[in-house]
Amino acid sequence: MRTKSFLLFVFAAAFMLVLLQNCRPDKTEPPVNTDPDSLYAGTPVTLTKPFKFPAIEIPTGINLTKEGVQLGRMLFYDPVLSSDSMFSCSSCHKQQFAFSDGGNAFSTNIFGLTKRNSPALFNMVWMKKFFWDGRAATLQLQAEDAMQHELNFIDPNVVAKLQIKPQYVYLFKKAFGRPGDITKEKVSNALTQFMLTLISSESKFDSVMRNQASFTAEESHGFYDLFKQDPALNQQQPGVGADCFHCHASSSGDYLTMIDNSFHNNSLDTSNGFQFPDNGQGAITGNQLQNGIFKTPHIRNIEVTGPYMRDGRFTTLEQVVDFYNEGLKVSATHDPLMKFESQGGLHSLSPQDKADLIAFLKTLTDYRFLTDTSLANPFH
Ligand code: HEC
Ligand code: HEC
């Protein structure tokens, strides 16, 4: 009899406990989602910081999810985004050329030829301003600008064209939840998510920096004695100091992004007073002291992103190196880091030095990035 009531007591106590548990106000489990339409929440994507790169900060307003990135990838490759359904972002930004328009000085779109060379797209999570003249302060603003100007997305039909495709209706809902409407902002948000995942950090140069490979003698001379050396500190010794790192390396020398997040006039053109053939940053800010100044472009993957400069004036890396050695032009806003502008260039590089500098530049090619199938056209 005693055991029986004891058992009853235990049973009742256990029951009370379960009840109490369920009534706890701070219960943190999310409610079970029974709405088949509301697949929102998304699978979070975490980007991995490559060796000696700065920390990754996802821009405000962007919630990086697998669904968002996948949608962005489809939109990037889909000509449905242009008002004439002929051009996609990938018409001018092609993976095998590190998302530049390899081979073309200018690119073609609905309106004809672009005014400037299509830049390579990668490592943008570490970039602060976009376009050659820096006119977009965030990647999402950039994507909106590209949709509007390159694809004539201003045409309201474009959203309507997406809305009638059940696959996109489903994918937008999956990426952004309810309501499942498609808006221009969601398109640029998804494109931004995809572009943030374009990370290039697996070149031979990276392997050497990680002690997993070594430079040839030529590459080593090209990097350590030329690219990375300041000639002013070496009294212009022959074979030392091509001085590229001041602009084509990160502002903190410890990082390997090779992005300085800055703007310079690298002495490509003469000026008439403060007027340049293309006023660049000055045309945006209205400050004539910034005329002729442009964003430092990528040096990573440089082997495949030609023709070079914002107007694609140089076809080969040989021409680029000749320019820095003996082709500089004097102008009103030249960068103080172009120390030899007044004498027309370094004049210190021998043919062997030039070849070695180029041998180094070619170690920056990241074949894994150029062939990564997860970044390729999903419709093929
Ligand atoms: C017709 C060719 C063309 C198309 C199509 C195109 N772009 Fe571009 N893109 C360019 C050119 C040219 C520039 C440089 C313009 C400038 O700086 O004035 C550029 C610049 C950019 C930049 C800035 C990169 C940097 O380092 O500053 C990004 C990002 C970009 N485009 C993404 C896109 C996206 C996303 C799309 C599709 C919505 C797209 N582009 C469509 C030609 C194109
Ligand atoms: C004062 C800063 C500065 C220095 C120093 C400098 N560059 Fe540049 N470089 C730039 C800028 C800015 C551009 C883009 C200019 C433009 O198109 O208007 C550029 C463009 C380039 C390009 C073309 C990139 C492309 O995608 O079009 C290459 C290649 C290049 N530089 C290599 C070098 C090498 C090699 C050195 C050393 C010999 C060097 N640079 C020194 C600022 C600099």
Per-residue pLDDT band for 21 (boundaries 50, 70, 90) equals very low
Pocket test for ligand 1, best of 113, 142, 278 (most atoms within 8 A of CB): 142
pLDDT at 33 over 50: no
Residue 26, pLDDT score: 39
Q: Does a structural domain hold residue 45?
A: no
User: Of 89-93, 133-137, 236-240, which gets the smallest average pLDDT?
Assistant: 236-240
Same domain, 224 and 355: yes
The per-residue pLDDT for 233 is 75
C-alpha pair distances (Å), 41 with each of 28, 190, 289: 16, 15, 48
User: In which band, very low, low, confident or very high, does the pLDDT at 370 lie, cut at 50, 70 and 90?
Assistant: very high
Lowest mean pLDDT among 152-161, 173-182, 211-220, 313-322: 152-161
| Pairwise CA distance, residues 51 & 287, whole Å | 38
Q: Let me know: does 367 contact 80? Beta carbons within 8 Å.
A: no
Segment 187-218, tens digit of pLDDT: 999 999 999 999 999 999 999 999 999 999 99
Closest ligand 1 atom, CA of 295? 27
At residue 18, does pLDDT exceed 50?
Answer: no
- As a whole number, mean pLDDT of residues 313-323 equals 98
Of 149, 177, 199, which residue is a domain's last?
199
Residue 74, in any domain of the structure: yes
Domain assignment present for residue 9? The answer is no
What number is the average pLDDT over the span 347-352? 94
User: Ligand 1 centre and the CA of 230: distance in Å?
Assistant: 33
Ligand number with the minimum distance to the CA of 321:
2
**Does pLDDT of 379 surpass 70?**
yes
Task: Return the best residue to mutate from 266, 279, 320 for the ligand 2 pocket (most ligand atoms within 8 A of CB).
Answer: 266
Name the domain count of the chain. Answer: 2
pLDDT at residue 10 in the model: 53
Q: pTM to 2 decimals?
A: 0.90
Report the range of poorest mean pLDDT among 226-240, 256-270, 331-345. Answer: 226-240
Mean pLDDT of the chain: 89
How far is it, in rounded angstroms, from Cα 370 to Cα 200? Answer: 9
Last residue of a domain, one of 199, 227, 253: 199
Band (pLDDT 50/70/90 cuts) for residue 19 is: very low
246 and 160, same domain (yes or no): no
Domain membership flag for residue 338: yes
Q: Cα–Cα distance between 369 and 198 in angstroms, integer?
A: 8
Please list the residues that pair with 293 across neighbouring strands.
Answer: 280
**CA end-to-end span of the chain:** 77
pLDDT value at residue 335: 96
pLDDT greater than 80 at residue 32: no
Average pLDDT for 250-258: 88
Task: Report residues whose beta carbon is within 6 angstroms of any ligand 1 atom.
Answer: 81, 87, 89, 91-93, 107, 109, 114, 116, 118-119, 121, 130-132, 142-143, 146-147, 150-151, 191, 195
Q: Are 335 and 265 in contact (CB under 8 A)?
A: yes
Tell which residue, 293, 346, 355, 268, has the closest CA to residue 318. Answer: 355
Looking at the fold, whether 179 and 275 belong to one and the same domain comes out as no
d(CA 267, CA 343): 11
- pLDDT at residue 310 greater than cutoff 90: yes
pLDDT tens for residues 264-292? 999 999 999 999 999 999 999 999 999 99
CATH number for position 231 = 1.10.760.10
276 plus 354 within the same structural domain? yes
Amino acid 148: pLDDT: 84
C-alpha of residue 118 to centroid of ligand 1, in Å: 6
> What is the predicted pLDDT for the residue at 234?
64
CA atoms of 75 and 168, how far apart (whole Å):
9
Is the confidence at residue 4, as pLDDT, over 80? no
pLDDT of 25 reads 39
In which band, very low, low, confident or very high, does the pLDDT at 236 lie, cut at 50, 70 and 90? low
**Residue range of the domain that includes 282:** 204-369
Q: From CA 217, how far away is CA 207, in angstroms rounded?
A: 16
Q: How far is the CA of 265 from the centre of ligand 2 (A)?
A: 9
**Residue 169, CB-side half-sphere exposure with 13 Å CA sphere:** 8
**235, 155: one domain:** no
Domain boundary among 161, 182, 199: 199
The pLDDT, as a whole number, for residue 190 is: 96
Q: Tell me: the pLDDT tens digits for 34-67? A: 444 555 668 999 999 999 999 999 999 999 999 9
Instruction: Name the residue of 84, 118, 311 whose CB sits within 8 Å of the most ligand 1 atoms, as the mutation to test its pocket.
Output: 118
Query: pLDDT of 64-114, one tens digit each?
Result: 999 999 999 999 999 999 888 899 999 999 999 999 999 999 999 888 999
- CA dihedral angle for residue 279, residue 280, residue 281, residue 284, rounded to 10 degrees: 80
- Is 24 part of a structural domain of the chain? no
**153 and 284, same domain (yes or no):** no
Band of pLDDT at residue 182, cut at 50, 70 and 90: very high
> Are 191 and 290 contained in the same domain?
no
